[in-house]
Structure 1
Amino acid sequence: MKRLGALLFLVFVLSFNAIGQEKINWMTFEEASAATLETPKMILVDVYTDWCGWCKKMDKETFTDDKVIAYVNDHFFAVKLHAEKTDRKFTFKGKEYTEASMAKTMRVTSYPNFVVMDATMENITQLPGYRQPQPFIDGLEGIVQRFTK
């Protein structure tokens, strides 16, 4: 009976923590494009692949950090873009793209790679490679300060 009580308590605590935990509000490319027309905001595009171990490490460690979540959600519309996905098409600036062709258009050649776009959907810069939470925030803060003054 003690084990059942302990198990129920553990399930309750884990459920409570999961419910209270914020997440980055990931969008599709076209959702972010529409959102920035309504509320001008910079776009952060996480360009990734399924086989990229460092991409998975970013998802698991950096993108679950409370400070990263808050900073990204406050300053960006965040987009996940699969660099090898060719089955889903969308239109951007009058041209049709797949996620793979958009990654090529953005000149992404390594993963993970973070493309930062301004509110008019023009590429500003890239932050290539895995980054721990605080260095990731520091890199984004520098870009925001440089391009929003």
Structure 2
Amino acid sequence: MKKIAIGLAACCLLLRAGAAEVEWMTDVAKAQAKAKEDKKLVMLDFTGSDWCGWCIKLNKDVFSQPEFIEYAKKNLVAVEVDFPRHKEQPEDVKKANAALGKKYGVDGYPTIVLLNADGKQVGDAIVGYVRGGPKAFIAKLEELKQKS
């Protein structure tokens, strides 16, 4: 009986852990289709995931926090536009990410760009780390949403 209880508890924890994160996409066209279907906005996260200290901090302090995860699941389709230095990326992903960076004028990391489902930018980009954790970051996103 004790083994069954431990097994059930472990399963619940695993299921909860899997559900407790933002689903990051890498294909903007698919993200826009999903956003249109779900009536959400697309959030592009231009990041240097393996070298940019502020990007790593944003991920730790905001994107991995329950308050943001809950908000994102209800309001956003998240897209990671990564420019890593230490991990390999397929050439087509590198080219697509570079084109997106150029299209939205990204010249520093992290940069967050909010799009409507048709790909039109909503407000100005959020450039740099936003202090104040999930609450402050969500407030910035809500400011931008008002412009959609």
Does the 8 A contact of 1:86 with 1:99 survive in 2?
A: no
Structure with the largest fraction of strand: 1
Structure 2 unmatched ranges of 5 or more? 1-5
CA offset at residue 16 of structure 1?
A: 5.6
Q: How many residues align structurally?
A: 131
Q: Which one of the candidate residues 114, 119, 126 is aligned to 1:116? A: 114
Pairing 1:20–2:16 present: yes
Aligned pairs (5 A) from 1:35-74: 35-49=34-48, 50-74=50-74
Pairing 1:87–2:75 present: no
Does the 8 A contact of 1:86 with 1:98 survive in 2?
A: no
Structure 1 residues 56-92: Cα deviation after superposition (integer angstroms, max 9, x where no partner): 11112211111111111211111000146671259xx
Query: What fraction of aligned residue pairs are identical, expressed as a percent?
Result: 27
CA offset at residue 45 of structure 1?
A: 0.5
Q: In 1, Cα distance between the equivalents of 2:9 and 2:60?
A: 20
CA-based RMSD of the aligned residues comes to 2.5
Pairing 1:103–2:107 present: no
Structure 1 unmatched ranges of 5 or more? 1-8, 91-96
Computing the radius of gyration over CA atoms, which structure comes out larger, 1 or 2? 1
Moved more, 20-29 or 31-40: 31-40
Q: Structure 1 pair 109/14, CA: closer, same or farther in 2 (3 Å)?
A: farther
* Alignment TM-score, normalising by the size of structure 2: 0.75
CA offset at residue 18 of structure 1?
A: 5.5
